[in-house]
Structure 1
Amino acid sequence: MSRHYLSIDIGGTNMKSALIDRSGNILSKTRTKTPKELSSFLAAIHEIVAEHQHDIRGIAFSTPGKVDTHTGKISFGGALPFLNGVSLKDELAEAFDLPVSIINDGKAAALAELWLGNLQGVDHGAAITLGTGLGGGIILDGRLIEGAHFQAGELSFMLNASRNADSEKVDGLTVQQLYGFSGSAVAMIRQAAEQLALADLSDGETVFDAINQRDARVWPLFTAYCREIACVILNVQSVIDLSCYVIGGGISAQDIVIEEIRRQYSQIQESLPLLKQTLTTPAIRACKFQNDANILGALYQFFLLLES
């Protein structure tokens, strides 16, 4: 029987699928647009699996939303709300005689780093992915923590109650006071592009050209963003005392992102000496994997759950 596995990363815009061997070598990879309604989505998944079903030992999924890794049931679905209540495990079991595992995308990124990346050998660490919101996965005693309700590492929902926001309030607070908004890399890029008067508000390359030149139109926006991420790290650190944080997401490929997060973390410590005296400073570095993190981490979850 083949020693290969199919790993599928379901994103809000694209679905990436890869044929991977037991050592984590990616043998082939494809990408397609993610359908926006359930029946088309399931048809696309069935087509991908059918293409490889005779060459694989199992299927691993990474998906947005809260995921019960035992039942395979997805709740909420994040950017794909039609996934709410869907169990891909049950769905595929009816059509294919193959084992299936499913995990949240942020947790998949952490597992990829734990397995083959910059959290290898780290007993207490975390991965933070900077994208539309803040994804994450927490490693304690060398194992991914899922939590009592499979919600551990959902950093987007951390509350910054002191943050000002102009939007309509709900019970005295606004959703903009969640770190998923203030820590959104997508939003930061858009705001910077507006300051630069760019026609394409998603043009991250041009935005970072300006940031790397310390352009006064965007530099304060960027440093404020990095301070938000440093605050998130500090808040997590005060609760679970980790030794290393790895930062992922597309913008983490820019060296200046990690450098500035470290600088902001240090500035916070210097401004509050009690923090510096009490909390040991963790390592903050970039993730090893970028675009392939979720497909690799999803497969590692398959191994942990079904082949350990």
Structure 2
Amino acid sequence: MTELTTHFLSIDIGGTYIKHALINRSGQIIFVKKEETPKTIEEFKTCLTGILDQYKGQVKAVAVSCPGKIDSKEGIVYYGGSLSYLHQFHLKGFIESYMNLRCAIMNDGKSAALAELWLGQLKDIENGGVMTLGTGIGGGLVLHKTLHSGSHFQAGELSFMLLSTDVPIGLGTVAGAKGSAVNFIRQAASVLKLEDPLNGKKVFEELEKKNELIYPLFEEFCRNVVIVIMNVQSVVDLQRIAIGGGISAQSILVEEIKRQYQQLLASVPLLETMLTPVEIVPCHFRNEAGLLGALYHLLEELEGN
């Protein structure tokens, strides 16, 4: 038996890359690798088995973070987010059969929440949440120090929250559109006439300068995020919400979200009087969140049995 058999394989399936890492029981990442995410289910299976082959005989079990609605008990992926070819794929069974090891699967947003619960901003919090800002708004709710999945594994899917009473209701009225970091970057890049419509680095350079062409768009984007936070807070009364996603690396983001939150409270005295404000912080983990959160879920399953 080699020393590495005390470690775990964690896989984070994203729309662009599949990251895989060797991690120990304490959450220390030994190393991380990544592969480009395939375009079809057959290419995906080939890629996945290639990853698994690298760790055969070296790990105790396998953890996976994946987009989509995840039945974490059965290990089946539904819809798959941007990877629609994963719909109804029995990912857990595929990996367990190939590796002859235990495997656990968790939604990517909920994995981010679990990473923060285990070792990050929610570690000592009784009731908290994570909002991941990307193509839409993902996340997870931690209630009584436990991930709340809901009756159908979809609690915390904030993208589907309605933010408008417009009739007819369309995709443009849901939180996933109004609070989309990707949509905001595209709009700002268009106003700035950037060649790359997703040049977030340049957009934030201009925001730091308070560029008047795009700062109002930024304020509107952050205000929409705050409306989601306020709606969540009115239902579950959290102590802390951690903001994640690649965009959260920009300190100006959380600063502006906090400012918009205070403005909203001040503009509606009843909210300021009746609702205890939630603490808003950046996530501790970003690129590693899916890897660590998936492992935490796996450890819960292994050590709970």
Give the shorter-chain TM-score range: over 0.9
AA paired with 2:180?
S
Give the C-alpha shift of residue 162 in structure 1: 3.5
Residue 255 of structure 2 corresponds to which residue in structure 1? 259
SS where residue 114 of structure 1 aligns? helix
5 Å matches for 1:231-246?
Answer: 231-246=227-242
Of 98, 103, 106, which residue of structure 1 is paired with 2:106?
Answer: 103
Residue 194 of structure 2 is aligned to residue 198 of structure 1: yes
Deviant stretches of 4+, over 6 Å: none
AA paired with 2:297?
Q
1:210-255 deviation line (CA, Å, top 9, x unaligned): 0111100110000100000110000000000000000001111111
Give the C-alpha shift of residue 84 in structure 1: 0.6
Of 13, 29, 35, which residue of structure 1 is paired with 2:16?
Answer: 13
Task: With the length of structure 2 as denominator, give the TM-score of the two structures.
Answer: 0.97
Tell me how large the CA RMSD over aligned residues is: 1.0
1:15-48 deviation line (CA, Å, top 9, x unaligned): 0001101111110111111101111101111111
- What are the ranges of 5 or more consecutive residues in structure 1 without an aligned counterpart? 164-170
Residue 184 of structure 2 corresponds to which residue in structure 1? 188
Residue 92 of structure 2 is aligned to residue 92 of structure 1: no
1:89-125 deviation line (CA, Å, top 9, x unaligned): 1112222211000000000000000001111110100
In structure 2, distance between residues paired with 1:74 and 1:241: 30
SS where residue 132 of structure 1 aligns? coil
Give the C-alpha shift of residue 290 in structure 1: 0.7
5 Å matches for 1:262-277?
Answer: 262-277=258-273
SS where residue 129 of structure 2 aligns? strand
- What are the ranges of 5 or more consecutive residues in structure 2 without an aligned counterpart? none
Percent identity between matched residues is 46
Task: With the length of structure 1 as denominator, give the TM-score of the two structures.
Answer: 0.96
Residue 27 of structure 2 is aligned to residue 24 of structure 1: yes
AA paired with 1:96?
M
In structure 2, distance between residues paired with 1:148 and 1:112: 22
In structure 1, distance between residues paired with 2:263 and 2:51: 49
Give the C-alpha shift of residue 51 in structure 1: 1.0
Of 54, 77, 80, which residue of structure 1 is paired with 2:57?
Answer: 54
Residue 47 of structure 2 is aligned to residue 44 of structure 1: yes
AA paired with 1:223?
E
In structure 2, distance between residues paired with 1:307 and 1:193: 48
Give the C-alpha shift of residue 307 in structure 1: 2.2
SS where residue 277 of structure 1 aligns? helix
Residue 89 of structure 2 is aligned to residue 79 of structure 1: no
In structure 2, distance between residues paired with 1:179 and 1:304: 31
Residue 71 of structure 2 is aligned to residue 68 of structure 1: yes
AA paired with 1:27?
I
Residue 168 of structure 1 corresponds to which residue in structure 2? none
In structure 2, distance between residues paired with 1:38 and 1:242: 39
1:112-145 deviation line (CA, Å, top 9, x unaligned): 0000111111010000000010011000000000
Count of aligned pairs between the two proteins = 301
SS where residue 199 of structure 1 aligns? coil
1:178-225 deviation line (CA, Å, top 9, x unaligned): 110111101101110111111111111100000111100110000100
Give the C-alpha shift of residue 147 in structure 1: 0.5
AA paired with 2:49?
H
In structure 2, distance between residues paired with 1:146 and 1:10: 20
1:56-112 deviation line (CA, Å, top 9, x unaligned): 000000000000111100111110011110111111222221100000000000000
Give the C-alpha shift of residue 173 in structure 1: 1.4
SS where residue 210 of structure 2 aligns? coil
